[in-house]
Chain A
Amino acid sequence: MKLSAAEEASKAGSGLPFQIRGSLQTLLALKILRPDDPAFFTGLLEKVAHAPDFFRNAPIVLDGGAVKAKSPECLAEIVERLREHRVVPVGLQNGSPDWNEAAVGLGLAIFGAGSAGGDDPTRAGRAGSKTTATPTRRPAGKVIREPVRGGQQVVAPDGDLVVMAPVSPGAEVAAAGHIHVYAPLRGRAFAGMNGDEQAMIFCEQLHAELLSIAGIHQVSEELDARLLGKRVRASLAAERLKVEPLP
Protein backbone atom coordinates (compact mmCIF):
# COMPACT_ATOMS: atom_id res chain seq x y z
CA MET A 1 0.00 0.00 0.00
CA LYS A 2 1.32 3.39 -0.91
CA LEU A 3 1.21 6.06 1.71
CA SER A 4 0.67 9.74 1.06
CA ALA A 5 3.40 12.14 2.04
CA ALA A 6 1.52 13.19 5.14
CA GLU A 7 1.08 9.61 6.22
CA GLU A 8 4.75 8.88 5.62
CA ALA A 9 5.63 11.85 7.75
CA SER A 10 3.45 10.74 10.60
CA LYS A 11 4.82 7.20 10.38
CA ALA A 12 8.28 8.61 10.60
CA GLY A 13 7.25 10.58 13.66
CA SER A 14 5.32 9.32 16.65
CA GLY A 15 3.26 6.84 14.65
CA LEU A 16 0.02 8.35 15.98
CA PRO A 17 -2.74 8.94 13.48
CA PHE A 18 -3.11 12.52 14.71
CA GLN A 19 -1.05 15.42 15.94
CA ILE A 20 -1.63 17.68 18.88
CA ARG A 21 -0.13 21.11 18.53
CA GLY A 22 -0.58 24.36 20.36
CA SER A 23 -2.43 26.98 18.35
CA LEU A 24 -3.26 30.58 19.06
CA GLN A 25 -6.61 32.08 18.24
CA THR A 26 -8.03 35.47 18.88
CA LEU A 27 -11.46 35.13 20.47
CA LEU A 28 -14.19 37.58 21.21
CA ALA A 29 -14.88 37.97 24.90
CA LEU A 30 -18.24 38.96 26.31
CA LYS A 31 -17.71 40.60 29.66
CA ILE A 32 -20.81 40.22 31.79
CA LEU A 33 -21.25 43.43 33.77
CA ARG A 34 -24.88 43.83 34.84
CA PRO A 35 -26.78 40.72 33.80
CA ASP A 36 -29.89 41.77 35.74
CA ASP A 37 -30.18 44.99 33.75
CA PRO A 38 -33.47 44.68 31.84
CA ALA A 39 -31.72 46.00 28.69
CA PHE A 40 -29.02 43.31 28.82
CA PHE A 41 -30.42 41.00 26.16
CA THR A 42 -32.02 43.62 23.93
CA GLY A 43 -28.74 45.55 23.86
CA LEU A 44 -26.65 42.44 23.27
CA LEU A 45 -28.82 41.06 20.51
CA GLU A 46 -28.93 44.43 18.83
CA LYS A 47 -25.15 44.34 18.64
CA VAL A 48 -25.27 40.89 17.10
CA ALA A 49 -27.98 41.88 14.62
CA HIS A 50 -25.94 44.91 13.63
CA ALA A 51 -23.08 42.76 12.27
CA PRO A 52 -24.58 39.34 11.61
CA ASP A 53 -21.72 38.20 9.35
CA PHE A 54 -19.17 39.09 11.98
CA PHE A 55 -20.94 37.13 14.69
CA ARG A 56 -22.29 34.20 12.68
CA ASN A 57 -20.83 30.98 14.14
CA ALA A 58 -18.16 33.03 15.86
CA PRO A 59 -16.70 31.53 19.03
CA ILE A 60 -17.06 33.78 22.05
CA VAL A 61 -15.68 33.55 25.55
CA LEU A 62 -17.85 34.67 28.45
CA ASP A 63 -16.03 36.68 31.09
CA GLY A 64 -17.46 36.40 34.59
CA GLY A 65 -14.78 38.49 36.28
CA ALA A 66 -17.06 41.37 37.16
CA VAL A 67 -19.96 39.31 38.45
CA LYS A 68 -18.39 36.30 40.08
CA ALA A 69 -19.55 37.35 43.52
CA LYS A 70 -23.11 37.03 42.29
CA SER A 71 -24.99 33.84 41.65
CA PRO A 72 -24.34 32.33 38.17
CA GLU A 73 -28.04 31.77 37.50
CA CYS A 74 -28.07 34.08 34.47
CA LEU A 75 -25.40 32.07 32.66
CA ALA A 76 -27.76 29.47 31.21
CA GLU A 77 -29.96 32.10 29.65
CA ILE A 78 -27.01 34.01 28.17
CA VAL A 79 -25.67 30.83 26.59
CA GLU A 80 -29.04 29.89 25.22
CA ARG A 81 -29.80 33.31 23.77
CA LEU A 82 -26.37 33.53 22.12
CA ARG A 83 -26.79 30.09 20.54
CA GLU A 84 -30.22 31.06 19.25
CA HIS A 85 -28.50 33.87 17.40
CA ARG A 86 -25.78 31.60 16.02
CA VAL A 87 -23.03 32.93 18.22
CA VAL A 88 -21.11 30.05 19.81
CA PRO A 89 -20.15 30.45 23.48
CA VAL A 90 -17.12 28.22 23.93
CA GLY A 91 -16.04 28.83 27.48
CA LEU A 92 -15.87 30.94 30.58
CA GLN A 93 -12.97 32.95 31.91
CA ASN A 94 -12.40 34.68 35.24
CA GLY A 95 -15.16 32.69 36.93
CA SER A 96 -15.48 31.79 40.60
CA PRO A 97 -15.88 28.09 41.49
CA ASP A 98 -19.68 28.56 41.38
CA TRP A 99 -19.53 30.12 37.95
CA ASN A 100 -17.09 27.50 36.69
CA GLU A 101 -19.35 24.72 37.87
CA ALA A 102 -22.34 26.28 36.13
CA ALA A 103 -20.28 26.68 32.95
CA VAL A 104 -19.18 23.04 32.95
CA GLY A 105 -22.82 22.07 33.42
CA LEU A 106 -23.65 24.01 30.25
CA GLY A 107 -20.92 22.31 28.26
CA LEU A 108 -18.51 25.25 28.31
CA ALA A 109 -14.76 25.06 28.71
CA ILE A 110 -13.02 26.78 31.59
CA PHE A 111 -10.31 29.13 30.41
CA GLY A 112 -7.37 29.84 32.64
CA ALA A 113 -7.71 33.34 33.95
CA GLY A 114 -7.66 35.65 30.95
CA SER A 115 -5.76 38.87 30.72
CA ALA A 116 -8.85 41.00 30.30
CA GLY A 117 -10.03 40.95 33.88
CA GLY A 118 -6.91 40.67 36.00
CA ASP A 119 -8.51 42.24 39.06
CA ASP A 120 -8.60 39.03 41.02
CA PRO A 121 -6.72 39.56 44.31
CA THR A 122 -5.95 35.86 44.76
CA ARG A 123 -4.50 35.68 41.24
CA ALA A 124 -2.48 38.81 41.75
CA GLY A 125 -1.01 37.25 44.85
CA ARG A 126 -0.02 34.14 42.99
CA ALA A 127 1.44 36.06 40.13
CA GLY A 128 3.41 38.15 42.56
CA SER A 129 5.00 35.10 44.11
CA LYS A 130 6.33 33.97 40.74
CA THR A 131 9.81 35.12 39.88
CA THR A 132 9.47 35.02 36.08
CA ALA A 133 7.16 37.40 34.31
CA THR A 134 4.82 35.88 31.75
CA PRO A 135 6.25 36.62 28.30
CA THR A 136 4.26 39.13 26.31
CA ARG A 137 2.71 37.56 23.26
CA ARG A 138 4.04 39.04 20.06
CA PRO A 139 1.58 38.91 17.19
CA ALA A 140 2.72 37.51 13.88
CA GLY A 141 4.55 40.00 11.68
CA LYS A 142 5.21 39.69 8.00
CA VAL A 143 8.35 40.51 6.04
CA ILE A 144 8.19 41.09 2.28
CA ARG A 145 11.42 41.19 0.28
CA GLU A 146 10.05 41.42 -3.27
CA PRO A 147 8.60 44.60 -4.79
CA VAL A 148 4.88 45.01 -4.25
CA ARG A 149 3.63 45.83 -7.75
CA GLY A 150 0.58 47.79 -8.84
CA GLY A 151 -2.60 45.78 -8.32
CA GLN A 152 -1.04 43.57 -5.64
CA GLN A 153 -2.17 43.55 -2.02
CA VAL A 154 -0.06 42.50 0.92
CA VAL A 155 -1.76 42.17 4.29
CA ALA A 156 -0.39 41.37 7.73
CA PRO A 157 -3.72 40.71 9.46
CA ASP A 158 -2.30 40.17 12.96
CA GLY A 159 0.88 42.13 13.30
CA ASP A 160 3.34 44.47 11.67
CA LEU A 161 4.31 44.54 8.03
CA VAL A 162 7.89 45.12 6.94
CA VAL A 163 8.48 45.69 3.23
CA MET A 164 12.10 45.75 2.12
CA ALA A 165 11.38 46.65 -1.52
CA PRO A 166 9.43 49.37 -3.31
CA VAL A 167 5.66 49.56 -3.10
CA SER A 168 4.46 50.60 -6.55
CA PRO A 169 1.66 53.00 -7.43
CA GLY A 170 -1.63 51.12 -7.32
CA ALA A 171 -0.34 48.57 -4.80
CA GLU A 172 -1.84 48.22 -1.32
CA VAL A 173 -0.09 47.29 1.90
CA ALA A 174 -2.06 46.80 5.10
CA ALA A 175 -1.32 45.66 8.64
CA ALA A 176 -3.02 45.34 11.98
CA GLY A 177 0.04 47.00 13.46
CA HIS A 178 2.80 49.20 12.05
CA ILE A 179 3.93 49.32 8.44
CA HIS A 180 7.60 49.79 7.63
CA VAL A 181 8.71 50.32 4.04
CA TYR A 182 12.49 50.42 3.60
CA ALA A 183 12.20 51.71 0.02
CA PRO A 184 9.98 54.17 -1.81
CA LEU A 185 6.31 53.92 -0.81
CA ARG A 186 4.29 54.87 -3.88
CA GLY A 187 1.08 52.91 -3.27
CA ARG A 188 -1.48 52.93 -0.49
CA ALA A 189 -0.70 52.01 3.11
CA PHE A 190 -3.23 51.06 5.78
CA ALA A 191 -1.78 50.65 9.27
CA GLY A 192 -3.90 49.75 12.27
CA MET A 193 -6.44 48.20 9.94
CA ASN A 194 -8.37 46.74 12.87
CA GLY A 195 -8.63 50.08 14.58
CA ASP A 196 -5.31 50.33 16.44
CA GLU A 197 -4.77 54.07 16.73
CA GLN A 198 -1.24 53.55 18.06
CA ALA A 199 -0.14 52.05 14.74
CA MET A 200 2.31 54.01 12.61
CA ILE A 201 3.64 54.02 9.08
CA PHE A 202 7.36 54.44 8.42
CA CYS A 203 8.90 54.79 5.00
CA GLU A 204 12.22 55.59 3.37
CA GLN A 205 10.72 57.74 0.61
CA LEU A 206 7.23 59.15 0.81
CA HIS A 207 5.38 59.10 -2.50
CA ALA A 208 2.27 57.38 -1.15
CA GLU A 209 -1.06 57.64 -2.90
CA LEU A 210 -2.79 57.29 0.42
CA LEU A 211 -1.84 56.87 4.07
CA SER A 212 -4.36 55.50 6.54
CA ILE A 213 -4.12 54.73 10.24
CA ALA A 214 -7.09 53.12 11.96
CA GLY A 215 -9.26 54.32 9.10
CA ILE A 216 -8.18 57.95 9.29
CA HIS A 217 -6.59 58.76 5.99
CA GLN A 218 -4.94 61.35 3.81
CA VAL A 219 -4.58 61.15 0.06
CA SER A 220 -1.44 62.20 -1.73
CA GLU A 221 -2.89 65.59 -2.61
CA GLU A 222 -3.31 66.45 1.07
CA LEU A 223 0.22 65.50 2.04
CA ASP A 224 2.68 68.29 2.69
CA ALA A 225 4.67 68.65 -0.54
CA ARG A 226 7.83 69.34 1.46
CA LEU A 227 7.71 65.80 2.82
CA LEU A 228 7.54 64.11 -0.57
CA GLY A 229 10.49 61.86 -1.20
CA LYS A 230 11.56 62.13 2.45
CA ARG A 231 11.95 59.55 5.20
CA VAL A 232 8.87 59.99 7.30
CA ARG A 233 6.75 58.60 10.08
CA ALA A 234 2.98 58.88 10.04
CA SER A 235 1.01 58.55 13.25
CA LEU A 236 -2.31 59.62 14.72
CA ALA A 237 -2.52 62.58 17.04
CA ALA A 238 -5.91 63.72 18.28
CA GLU A 239 -7.66 61.75 15.54
CA ARG A 240 -5.67 63.44 12.83
CA LEU A 241 -2.96 61.97 10.70
CA LYS A 242 0.41 63.50 11.46
CA VAL A 243 3.30 63.01 9.04
CA GLU A 244 6.74 64.01 10.32
CA PRO A 245 10.19 63.72 8.81
CA LEU A 246 12.45 61.16 10.43
CA PRO A 247 15.94 62.24 11.45
Chain B
Amino acid sequence: MSKVIVVTSGKGGVGKTTSAAALGTALALRGHKTVIIDFDVGLRNLDLIMGCERRVVFDFINVINDGIRLNQALIKDKRVDNLWILPTSQTRDKDALSPEGVEKVIEELRKQFDYIICDSPAGIEKGAYMALYNADEAIVVTNPEVSSVRDSDRILGILSSKSKRAEHGDTPVKTHLLLTRYDLDRVQRGEMLKLDDVLEILAIPVLGVIPQCTSVLQASNLGMPVVLDDKSNAGQAYKDAAARLLGEDIELRYVNPEKRGLVDWLFRRSA
Protein backbone atom coordinates (compact mmCIF):
# COMPACT_ATOMS: atom_id res chain seq x y z
CA MET B 1 0.00 0.00 0.00
CA SER B 2 1.59 3.23 -1.10
CA LYS B 3 1.19 6.39 0.93
CA VAL B 4 1.15 9.96 -0.30
CA ILE B 5 2.53 12.29 2.35
CA VAL B 6 2.59 16.07 1.96
CA VAL B 7 5.17 18.12 3.82
CA THR B 8 3.54 21.51 4.31
CA SER B 9 3.47 24.52 6.64
CA GLY B 10 1.78 27.60 5.24
CA LYS B 11 4.71 29.72 6.31
CA GLY B 12 7.90 29.86 4.29
CA GLY B 13 11.40 29.17 5.51
CA VAL B 14 10.44 26.79 8.31
CA GLY B 15 12.24 23.79 6.83
CA LYS B 16 9.77 22.02 4.55
CA THR B 17 12.25 21.05 1.87
CA THR B 18 14.94 20.10 4.38
CA SER B 19 12.39 17.94 6.21
CA ALA B 20 11.01 16.36 3.04
CA ALA B 21 14.55 15.48 1.94
CA ALA B 22 15.55 14.16 5.36
CA LEU B 23 12.40 12.09 5.97
CA GLY B 24 12.35 10.74 2.43
CA THR B 25 15.95 9.67 2.74
CA ALA B 26 15.35 8.13 6.17
CA LEU B 27 12.40 6.11 4.82
CA ALA B 28 14.52 4.88 1.93
CA LEU B 29 17.32 3.92 4.32
CA ARG B 30 14.75 1.78 6.12
CA GLY B 31 14.19 -0.09 2.87
CA HIS B 32 11.02 1.59 1.62
CA LYS B 33 10.93 2.63 -2.00
CA THR B 34 10.46 6.39 -1.79
CA VAL B 35 10.12 9.32 -4.16
CA ILE B 36 10.24 13.00 -3.18
CA ILE B 37 8.40 15.42 -5.47
CA ASP B 38 9.17 19.13 -5.60
CA PHE B 39 5.89 21.07 -5.91
CA ASP B 40 7.53 24.48 -5.63
CA VAL B 41 7.32 25.26 -9.35
CA GLY B 42 9.54 28.18 -10.27
CA LEU B 43 11.56 28.01 -7.04
CA ARG B 44 13.23 24.68 -7.57
CA ASN B 45 15.15 23.78 -4.39
CA LEU B 46 14.73 20.11 -3.61
CA ASP B 47 17.31 19.04 -6.18
CA LEU B 48 19.88 21.34 -4.53
CA ILE B 49 19.19 19.96 -1.07
CA MET B 50 19.41 16.45 -2.48
CA GLY B 51 22.56 17.27 -4.44
CA CYS B 52 21.21 16.21 -7.82
CA GLU B 53 20.80 19.62 -9.46
CA ARG B 54 23.30 18.78 -12.18
CA ARG B 55 21.42 15.68 -13.23
CA VAL B 56 18.05 17.29 -13.97
CA VAL B 57 17.02 16.87 -17.60
CA PHE B 58 13.25 16.58 -17.53
CA ASP B 59 10.98 17.56 -14.67
CA PHE B 60 7.53 17.12 -13.09
CA ILE B 61 6.05 19.83 -15.33
CA ASN B 62 7.39 18.17 -18.49
CA VAL B 63 5.66 14.97 -17.40
CA ILE B 64 2.36 16.77 -16.84
CA ASN B 65 2.38 18.99 -19.92
CA ASP B 66 4.88 17.78 -22.48
CA GLY B 67 4.35 14.06 -22.78
CA ILE B 68 7.66 13.12 -21.13
CA ARG B 69 7.53 9.71 -19.46
CA LEU B 70 7.74 9.64 -15.69
CA ASN B 71 10.81 7.40 -15.72
CA GLN B 72 12.67 9.94 -17.86
CA ALA B 73 12.14 12.60 -15.20
CA LEU B 74 12.74 10.54 -12.06
CA ILE B 75 16.29 10.88 -10.71
CA LYS B 76 17.69 8.02 -8.68
CA ASP B 77 19.74 9.03 -5.67
CA LYS B 78 23.36 7.86 -5.92
CA ARG B 79 23.91 7.43 -2.20
CA VAL B 80 20.77 5.70 -1.02
CA ASP B 81 19.01 2.74 -2.61
CA ASN B 82 15.25 2.98 -2.96
CA LEU B 83 15.32 6.78 -3.21
CA TRP B 84 14.17 8.85 -6.18
CA ILE B 85 13.61 12.57 -6.74
CA LEU B 86 11.11 14.16 -9.09
CA PRO B 87 12.40 17.71 -9.57
CA THR B 88 10.28 20.61 -10.69
CA SER B 89 10.74 23.35 -13.25
CA GLN B 90 12.66 26.50 -12.47
CA THR B 91 11.30 28.41 -15.47
CA ARG B 92 7.56 27.77 -15.21
CA ASP B 93 5.13 28.83 -12.51
CA LYS B 94 2.38 27.24 -10.41
CA ASP B 95 -0.15 27.59 -13.24
CA ALA B 96 1.71 24.82 -15.05
CA LEU B 97 0.21 22.41 -12.48
CA SER B 98 -3.24 21.08 -13.31
CA PRO B 99 -5.25 19.02 -10.82
CA GLU B 100 -5.78 16.25 -13.39
CA GLY B 101 -2.13 16.24 -14.41
CA VAL B 102 -0.93 16.04 -10.80
CA GLU B 103 -3.41 13.31 -9.96
CA LYS B 104 -2.34 11.26 -12.96
CA VAL B 105 1.34 11.45 -12.00
CA ILE B 106 0.56 10.60 -8.37
CA GLU B 107 -1.52 7.59 -9.40
CA GLU B 108 1.31 6.37 -11.60
CA LEU B 109 3.82 6.83 -8.77
CA ARG B 110 1.54 4.92 -6.40
CA LYS B 111 2.08 1.83 -8.57
CA GLN B 112 5.85 2.01 -8.18
CA PHE B 113 6.57 3.49 -4.76
CA ASP B 114 5.83 2.81 -1.09
CA TYR B 115 6.11 6.45 -0.06
CA ILE B 116 5.44 9.52 -2.17
CA ILE B 117 6.62 12.63 -0.35
CA CYS B 118 5.20 15.89 -1.72
CA ASP B 119 7.33 18.91 -0.84
CA SER B 120 4.83 21.77 -0.77
CA PRO B 121 5.57 25.41 -1.57
CA ALA B 122 4.83 27.99 1.12
CA GLY B 123 1.56 29.89 1.11
CA ILE B 124 -2.03 28.73 0.71
CA GLU B 125 -2.28 29.36 -3.01
CA LYS B 126 -2.55 26.99 -5.93
CA GLY B 127 0.85 25.34 -5.50
CA ALA B 128 0.13 24.40 -1.89
CA TYR B 129 -3.35 23.07 -2.79
CA MET B 130 -1.88 20.94 -5.55
CA ALA B 131 0.70 19.50 -3.17
CA LEU B 132 -1.80 18.60 -0.44
CA TYR B 133 -4.83 17.62 -2.52
CA ASN B 134 -3.92 13.96 -3.03
CA ALA B 135 -2.35 13.41 0.39
CA ASP B 136 -3.15 10.47 2.67
CA GLU B 137 -1.06 11.97 5.46
CA ALA B 138 0.35 15.41 6.15
CA ILE B 139 3.46 16.47 8.00
CA VAL B 140 2.98 20.01 9.21
CA VAL B 141 6.37 21.63 9.67
CA THR B 142 6.27 24.31 12.35
CA ASN B 143 8.85 26.52 14.04
CA PRO B 144 8.43 27.38 17.72
CA GLU B 145 7.12 30.88 17.10
CA VAL B 146 3.60 32.32 16.94
CA SER B 147 3.34 33.23 13.27
CA SER B 148 4.44 29.77 12.19
CA VAL B 149 1.96 28.16 14.58
CA ARG B 150 -0.87 30.28 13.24
CA ASP B 151 -0.03 29.43 9.64
CA SER B 152 0.18 25.74 10.49
CA ASP B 153 -3.26 25.99 12.06
CA ARG B 154 -4.57 27.50 8.83
CA ILE B 155 -3.04 24.69 6.78
CA LEU B 156 -4.62 22.11 9.09
CA GLY B 157 -7.98 23.72 8.39
CA ILE B 158 -7.36 23.51 4.65
CA LEU B 159 -6.32 19.86 4.94
CA SER B 160 -9.54 19.05 6.74
CA SER B 161 -11.73 20.86 4.21
CA LYS B 162 -10.07 21.08 0.80
CA SER B 163 -8.12 17.84 0.38
CA LYS B 164 -9.39 15.06 -1.86
CA ARG B 165 -10.15 12.95 1.21
CA ALA B 166 -12.21 15.78 2.70
CA GLU B 167 -14.05 16.43 -0.55
CA HIS B 168 -14.85 12.75 -1.02
CA GLY B 169 -15.82 12.25 2.63
CA ASP B 170 -13.12 9.57 3.14
CA THR B 171 -11.21 9.16 6.39
CA PRO B 172 -9.52 12.51 7.00
CA VAL B 173 -5.90 13.19 6.11
CA LYS B 174 -3.77 11.96 9.02
CA THR B 175 -1.83 14.91 10.35
CA HIS B 176 1.53 15.01 12.14
CA LEU B 177 3.41 17.85 13.77
CA LEU B 178 7.10 18.23 13.00
CA LEU B 179 8.56 20.96 15.16
CA THR B 180 11.81 22.16 13.62
CA ARG B 181 14.57 24.57 14.69
CA TYR B 182 13.82 23.80 18.30
CA ASP B 183 16.46 25.63 20.29
CA LEU B 184 16.28 24.28 23.81
CA ASP B 185 18.35 27.07 25.34
CA ARG B 186 16.11 29.74 23.86
CA VAL B 187 13.00 27.79 24.82
CA GLN B 188 14.24 27.67 28.40
CA ARG B 189 14.93 31.37 28.37
CA GLY B 190 11.36 31.89 27.21
CA GLU B 191 12.40 33.31 23.85
CA MET B 192 10.76 30.50 21.91
CA LEU B 193 7.52 28.62 22.32
CA LYS B 194 7.69 25.32 24.17
CA LEU B 195 6.56 22.12 22.50
CA ASP B 196 3.56 22.12 24.84
CA ASP B 197 2.58 25.66 23.82
CA VAL B 198 2.56 24.62 20.19
CA LEU B 199 0.60 21.46 20.93
CA GLU B 200 -1.98 23.39 22.89
CA ILE B 201 -2.93 25.34 19.78
CA LEU B 202 -2.43 22.74 17.07
CA ALA B 203 -3.55 19.67 19.04
CA ILE B 204 -2.17 17.05 16.63
CA PRO B 205 0.22 14.15 17.34
CA VAL B 206 3.94 14.92 17.36
CA LEU B 207 5.98 13.19 14.71
CA GLY B 208 9.24 14.72 15.84
CA VAL B 209 11.12 17.63 17.32
CA ILE B 210 14.20 18.62 15.34
CA PRO B 211 16.78 20.52 17.38
CA GLN B 212 18.35 23.68 16.05
CA CYS B 213 21.66 22.44 14.72
CA THR B 214 24.38 23.94 12.54
CA SER B 215 24.71 20.62 10.76
CA VAL B 216 21.41 21.27 8.94
CA LEU B 217 22.70 24.28 7.04
CA GLN B 218 26.01 22.57 6.34
CA ALA B 219 24.26 19.52 4.94
CA SER B 220 21.99 21.68 2.78
CA ASN B 221 24.93 23.53 1.30
CA LEU B 222 26.63 20.23 0.55
CA GLY B 223 23.51 18.88 -1.12
CA MET B 224 23.31 16.06 1.38
CA PRO B 225 20.18 15.15 3.34
CA VAL B 226 21.04 15.71 6.99
CA VAL B 227 20.13 12.14 8.00
CA LEU B 228 23.25 10.98 6.16
CA ASP B 229 25.34 12.89 8.71
CA ASP B 230 25.71 10.39 11.55
CA LYS B 231 27.05 12.99 13.97
CA SER B 232 24.13 15.37 13.54
CA ASN B 233 21.53 15.58 16.29
CA ALA B 234 19.05 16.90 13.76
CA GLY B 235 19.79 13.91 11.54
CA GLN B 236 19.11 11.54 14.44
CA ALA B 237 15.88 13.36 15.24
CA TYR B 238 14.75 13.02 11.61
CA LYS B 239 15.52 9.30 11.71
CA ASP B 240 13.41 9.00 14.85
CA ALA B 241 10.59 10.90 13.11
CA ALA B 242 10.74 8.55 10.12
CA ALA B 243 10.57 5.57 12.48
CA ARG B 244 7.47 7.06 14.12
CA LEU B 245 5.96 7.55 10.68
CA LEU B 246 6.45 3.80 10.22
CA GLY B 247 4.48 3.24 13.41
CA GLU B 248 7.32 2.74 15.89
CA ASP B 249 6.97 4.10 19.39
CA ILE B 250 10.12 6.08 20.16
CA GLU B 251 10.65 8.56 22.94
CA LEU B 252 11.20 12.19 21.93
CA ARG B 253 14.80 13.35 22.18
CA TYR B 254 16.23 16.85 22.44
CA VAL B 255 13.15 18.27 24.17
CA ASN B 256 14.47 18.22 27.72
CA PRO B 257 17.72 19.75 28.97
CA GLU B 258 20.49 17.17 29.22
CA LYS B 259 22.09 16.68 32.59
CA ARG B 260 25.42 18.37 32.15
CA GLY B 261 28.53 17.69 34.13
CA LEU B 262 30.73 20.52 35.29
CA VAL B 263 33.37 19.85 32.65
CA ASP B 264 30.76 19.76 29.94
CA TRP B 265 29.32 23.00 31.22
CA LEU B 266 32.72 24.70 31.20
CA PHE B 267 33.36 23.36 27.74
CA ARG B 268 30.08 24.74 26.44
CA ARG B 269 30.70 28.08 28.04
CA SER B 270 34.00 28.48 26.27
CA ALA B 271 32.74 27.13 22.96
Give the interface of A toward B (CB within 8 A).
146-152, 165-166, 168-171, 184, 186
Render B154-176 as a binary contact track against A, CB cut-off 8 A, 1 for contact: 10111011000000000000000
Contact A168 B201 (CB under 8 A): yes
With beta carbons under 8 angstroms apart, the residue of B160, B201, B203 that contacts A169 is B201
* A166 CA / B149 CA spacing, docked (Å): 15
Complex partner residue of B153 from A146, A165, A170, A184, CB under 8 angstroms? A170
Q: Any chain A CB within 8 A of the CB of B150? A: yes
Shortest 5 CB-CB contacts between residues of A and residues of B: A149-B157, A150-B153, A152-B157, A150-B154, A151-B154
- B124, B150, B158, B203: the one contacting A147 at CB < 8 Å is B203
| A residues in contact with B200, CB < 8 Å | 184
User: Once the chains bind, are A186 and B160 in contact (CB under 8 Å)?
Assistant: no
Would you call A150 and B203 a contact (CB within 8 A)? no
Contact of A147 with B154 in the complex, beta carbons under 8 Å: no
B150 proximity list for chain A (CB < 8 A): 150, 168-170
Q: Which of B157, B158, B161, B203 has the most CB of A within 10 A?
A: B157
Complex Cα distance, B156 from A169, in Å, reads 13
User: How far is B153's CA from A184's CA once the two chains are assembled, in angstroms?
Assistant: 14
Residues of B within 8 A of A168 (CB): 150, 153, 157, 201
Q: A152-B161, A165-B203, A169-B153 are in contact. List 16 more A-B contacts (CB 8 A).
A: A146-B160, A147-B203, A149-B156, A149-B157, A149-B160, A150-B150, A150-B157, A151-B154, A151-B158, A166-B201, A166-B203, A168-B153, A168-B157, A168-B201, A170-B154, A171-B157
Question: Which residues of chain B from 109 to 147 have any CB-CB distance to chain A below 8 Å in the complex?
Answer: 124
Chain B positions within 8 Å of A, measured between CB atoms, are: 124, 150, 153-154, 156-158, 160-161, 200-201, 203
Inter-chain contacts of B154 with A (CB < 8 A) = 149-151, 170
Do most interface residues of chain B lie in helix, strand or loop, or is the interface mixed? helix
B124 — which chain A residues lie within 8 A by C-beta?
151
With CB as the reference atom, state the residue of chain B lying closest to A168: B153
Can you list 23 A-B contacts (CB < 8 A)?
A: A146-B160, A147-B156, A148-B157, A149-B153, A149-B154, A149-B157, A149-B160, A150-B150, A150-B153, A150-B157, A151-B124, A151-B154, A151-B158, A152-B157, A165-B203, A166-B201, A166-B203, A168-B150, A168-B157, A169-B150, A169-B153, A169-B201, A170-B150
Q: Which residues of B contact A146 (CB under 8 A)?
A: 160
Q: Inside 8 A of B156's CB, which chain A residues have their CB? A: 147, 149
Closest beta carbon of chain B to A185's beta carbon, Å:
13
Nearest B residue (CB) for A148: B157
The residue of chain B having its C-beta at the shortest distance from the C-beta of A153 within the complex is B157
Report the minimal beta-carbon distance from A128 to chain B, rounded to whole angstroms.
50
How many Å lie between the Cα of A168 and that of B149 in the bound state?
10
Nearest neighbor of B155 in chain A, beta-carbon distance: A149
Complexed CA–CA distance, A150 and B201 (Å) = 10
B152 CB → nearest A CB, Å? 9
B262 to chain A, nearest CB (A): 40
Q: In the complex, what residues of B have CB within 8 A of residue A166's CB?
A: 201, 203
Interface centre among A150, A152, A171, by most B CB within 10 Å? Answer: A150
Q: Within the assembled complex, what's the spacing in Å between the Cα atoms of A150 and B200?
A: 14
Q: How far is the CA of A152 from the CA of B200 in the complex (A)?
A: 18
Q: Which residues of A contact B160 (CB under 8 A)?
A: 146, 149
Chain B residue with minimal CB distance to A169? B150
Q: How far is the CB of B123 from chain A (nearest CB, A)?
A: 13
Q: Is the CB of B157 within 8 A of A151?
A: yes
**In the complex, A8→B161 CA distance in Å?**
30
**A170 / chain B contacts, CB cutoff of 8 Å:** 150, 153-154
The docked-state distance in angstroms from the alpha carbon of A183 to that of B85 is: 43
Docked Cα-Cα span, A168 to B124, in Å, equals 17
Cα distance, A69 to B240, chains bound together (Å): 84
In the assembled complex, how far is the CB of residue A88 from the closest CB belonging to chain B, in whole angstroms? Answer: 35
Q: Which residues of B contact A150 (CB under 8 A)?
A: 150, 153-154, 157
CA distance A186 to B150 in the complex (A): 11
- With A150-B150, A169-B150 as known contacts, state yes or no: A186 contacts B157, CB within 8 Å: no
Q: How far is the CA of A112 from the CA of B86 in the complex (A)?
A: 69
**B153 contact set on A, CB distance < 8 A:** 149-150, 168-170
Give Cα A146 to B173, complex, Å. 13
Shortest C-beta distance, A188 to chain B (Å), equals 14
The residues of B that contact A152 with a CB separation of less than 8 Å are 157, 161
Residues on the B chain within 8 Å of A186, using CB: 201
A151: chain B residues within 8 A (beta carbon): 124, 154, 157-158
Closest chain B residue, CB of each to CB of A171? B157
How long is the Cα–Cα vector from A152 to B162 in the complex, in angstroms? 11
Q: Which residues of A contact B201 (CB under 8 A)?
A: 166, 168-169, 186
Bound-complex Cα distance A186 to B160 (A):
19
Instruction: Give, as a whole number of angstroms, the nearest-CB distance from B122 to chain A.
Output: 15
Query: What's the least CB distance linking A12 to chain B, in Å?
Result: 23
